[in-house]
A and B are shown apart, each in its own frame.
Chain A
Amino acid sequence: MLSSSVCKLSVRNIYLHKGPRVAGLKRDPQEVFVTQGGAKYEQSETNLKHIKDFLTEKYSIDDDLALQVLTHKSFGNGIKPYNEKLSAMGSKILNLYFAKFVVEKPSQNELAINGKNLDVLGTPIAKELAGRLSLGIFARTNNLNSTMFWKSYNYGVGFETSGEMKVSAQMMYALVGAVTFVHGKKVAEQFISEKLLGASPSIEDITSSVVEKAQQN
């Protein structure tokens, strides 16, 4: 039998500081990991509800991955798992999907190669379908960005200027990326087709209005 003196249990006492930042002191996570809107960083029903409802059972992802989708690099100095790698995957698959989507449409253009009209590539609509502005607006329209863990230099300067558009778009890329990681490329393409192009307003409607507005200015 081991005597109690052999069992060594190390216990660390760390002081967690509350209130304004003091250099060198570790801040209390309960106070730090909270969004501007007051949402606590945790896998709670309220935090994940919007994206879980959007994904439905067919495209479901784990709660920890869902929380990672909602977390931006700017939150908590990047100490929590954030969505950079997920969005790297998502942005690439979205760009590829929409490039294929636009060239596969039936065309009378005699320069089309094997029925694929490549003249549409490089046009504003083809570029902006997977663009940050369209996806940011899509996230806002579908209330997907209502709970996001991020930090702005100034929350009060509007959707685009505060960085909310960029962070929302990155969250959307991450959402598509998470579906790709979990379910594979084929299912992710179905997801884009069903949930992004099939939504009301669809990503196509949003992009058209974005491009039209830019052409008017």
Chain B
Amino acid sequence: MLRRIVRLPRPMLRTLVPTRNYQVARLDTSLKTNYDSLTDYGSYKNNIFTHRLPESTAQQSPPLVALHSRLNLPTSYSLSTLSQALNLNKFDDGLANNFGLNTLGKNLMSYYVAEYLLIKYPRLPMPIHNAAVDSLMGVETLHEIGKSWGIEVDQSSKLEKYLSQESEFLKYGKLRFVSEQRKSQVKEDGVYELSQEEIASLHRNKSFVAKETEAYASAVRSIVGGLYTHVGEDATKAFISDHILSRKLPLEQMFQFSQPTRELIRLCDKLSFTEPVEIRLIAETGRLSAHPIYVAGAFCGVEKLGEGIGSSLAEAKTRSVVNALLSYYLYSPISADGADVKFPSDIDYKFEGIVGTGDVAI
């Protein structure tokens, strides 16, 4: 059988190049959102939500009042907002959920975390920067923070609440994300059954994030968002600084170099260093000794970039190069008076640091 080979003209070929076109965000129809015009932002209303929790009801929830006090939230931060921050359910008798608060909190946190890292560690390679962002405000971290704040999950069904004569107000101070149907399922000790959404997420990105983990993270972000709505940005910044940025970040442990010498040479090239990179032996205990130790240094001309100790020449060389790279990447600027540099959101900000110039391709 004869097969015809069709040769496409070049312009037509161009249209066949597989590309990912930009996807404009779509409206979530399940929220039944109404608005007067696209840019009339005040007119947007999600009709599936009918009300917020009355403040008088929220005040009768002991876990909610306790959480408010524990986090030392200002009195202007209403308990009803705090309760809303803990509600992830879209369909909960018309009670407003935390979607908006979560988005607002996420934007605030993203900015302040990025600002902190970009100013304090301007030379971090982008993968390390992203890992640092993740370790400060990633889902797992926020889950841990939420747990340390003592937030509990509302896991008992309506029937269980009725049988144990639990006050109906208790649930307003708990994290609500488990559906009534799931609550009423019989659970087996030590067995965690994945929900449909969790199975779907597992296939999509091959990393498993439990719904509870995501719910805790969402609650923490929402509490931050709620703080902005009630007391403004300055107080929110202070809160983020206290609870998120104060955590120790083991940056030096996040690095992994596959070709450190090549990376250092490329980096020196990028920095327009005219002298070539050389690894020189600085000292050794004696090659014929029982356990020789070598000290090598990575030099660029007369400038020593890093020093490393190893039990073989190769080890000392690699360590010196890695130390040179680490001391470059982990550089943190200080101001003229020796104090920490100010951040762009600080009052009387003056730019004294540096701007990262980007990683090198190896």
Q: Which residues of A contact B (CB under 8 A)?
A: 10, 12, 65, 68, 73, 77-86, 88-89, 92-93, 95-96, 99-103, 105-111, 113-114, 116-128, 131-133, 154, 156-157, 160-161, 165, 178, 180-186, 188, 204, 208, 210-215
Q: Shortest distance in angstroms between B82's beta carbon and chain A's nearest beta carbon? A: 11
Q: Is the CB of A122 within 8 A of B111?
A: no
In the complex where A122-B103, A208-B39 touch, is A181 in contact with B358 (Cβ < 8 A)?
Answer: no
Q: Is the CB of A78 within 8 A of B359?
A: yes
Q: Is the CB of B99 within 8 A of A92?
A: no
Residues on A with beta carbons closer than 8 Å to the beta carbon of B14: 154, 156-157
Q: Could you list some 23 contacts between A and B, CB below 8 A?
A: A68-B355, A82-B357, A84-B126, A84-B356, A85-B118, A85-B122, A85-B358, A86-B355, A88-B126, A88-B129, A92-B115, A95-B110, A103-B104, A107-B43, A108-B43, A113-B81, A113-B101, A117-B44, A119-B45, A122-B100, A157-B14, A180-B344, A208-B39
Q: Is the CB of A111 within 8 A of B22?
A: no
Interface centre among B84, B110, B118, B357 (most CB of A within 10 A): B357
In the complex where A81-B357, A128-B25, A161-B21 touch, is A117 in contact with B51 (Cβ < 8 A)?
Answer: no
Q: Tell whether B5 is near chain A: CB-to-CB under 8 Å.
A: no
Band of interface residues on B:
35 or more
Q: Contact mask B30-55 → A, CB, 8 Å, 1/0? A: 00010100111111111001011000
Q: Is the CB of B359 within 8 A of A182?
A: no
Q: Tell whether B361 is near chain A: CB-to-CB under 8 Å.
A: yes
Q: Shortest distance in angstroms between A99's beta carbon and chain B's nearest beta carbon? A: 4
Q: Shortest distance in angstroms between A186's beta carbon and chain B's nearest beta carbon? A: 8
Residues on A with beta carbons closer than 8 Å to the beta carbon of B114: 88-89, 92
In the complex where A106-B42, A109-B42, A212-B38 touch, is A84 in contact with B107 (Cβ < 8 A)?
Answer: no
A81 to B104, CA, bound (A): 33
Residues on A with beta carbons closer than 8 Å to the beta carbon of B290: none
Q: Is the CB of B344 within 8 A of A184?
A: yes
Q: Shortest distance in angstroms between A100's beta carbon and chain B's nearest beta carbon? A: 8
A77 to B266, CA, bound (A): 11
When the two chains form the complex, which single residue of B27, B51, B233, B344 contacts A123, counting CB atoms closer than 8 Å? B27
When the two chains form the complex, which single residue of A77, A81, A127, A204 contacts B39, counting CB atoms closer than 8 Å? A204
Q: Which residues of B contact A (CB under 8 A)?
A: 14, 17, 19, 21-22, 24-28, 33, 35, 38-46, 49, 51-52, 78, 81, 84, 96, 99-101, 103-104, 107-108, 110-111, 114-115, 118, 122, 126, 129, 225-226, 229-230, 233, 269-270, 274-276, 344-346, 349, 351, 355-361
Given contacts A12-B274, A105-B42, A117-B41, 10 further A-B contacts (CB under 8 A): A85-B355, A108-B43, A113-B84, A121-B103, A123-B25, A178-B355, A183-B351, A184-B349, A185-B344, A213-B24
Residues on B with beta carbons closer than 8 Å to the beta carbon of A111: 45-46, 49, 51-52, 96
In the complex where A92-B111, A107-B42, A184-B345 touch, is A81 in contact with B358 (Cβ < 8 A)?
Answer: yes
Q: Is the CB of A109 within 8 A of B25?
A: no
Q: Is the CB of B356 within 8 A of A124?
A: no
When the two chains form the complex, which single residue of B107, B225, B358 contacts A73, counting CB atoms closer than 8 Å? B358
B19 and chain A: residue at smallest CB distance: A161
A127 to B33, CA, bound (A): 15
Q: Is the CB of A119 within 8 A of B358?
A: no
Q: Shortest distance in angstroms between A23's beta carbon and chain B's nearest beta carbon? A: 16
Q: Is the CB of A79 within 8 A of B345?
A: no
Residues on A with beta carbons closer than 8 Å to the beta carbon of B22: 132-133, 160, 165
A100 to B232, CA, bound (A): 11
Residues on A with beta carbons closer than 8 Å to the beta carbon of B270: 78-80
Residues on B with beta carbons closer than 8 Å to the beta carbon of A68: 355, 357
In the complex where A92-B111, A99-B103, A109-B42 touch, is A114 in contact with B230 (Cβ < 8 A)?
Answer: yes
Residues on B with beta carbons closer than 8 Å to the beta carbon of A181: 344, 351, 355
Q: Shortest distance in angstroms between A199's beta carbon and chain B's nearest beta carbon? A: 15
Q: Is the CB of A154 within 8 A of B17?
A: yes
A77 and chain B: residue at smallest CB distance: B361
Residues on B with beta carbons closer than 8 Å to the beta carbon of A161: 17, 19, 21
In the complex where A109-B44, A117-B42, A124-B26 touch, is A78 in contact with B103 (Cβ < 8 A)?
Answer: no
Q: Shortest distance in angstroms between A154's beta carbon and chain B's nearest beta carbon? A: 7
When the two chains form the complex, which single residue of A10, A154, A160 contacts B21, counting CB atoms closer than 8 Å? A160
Q: Is the CB of A124 within 8 A of B101?
A: no
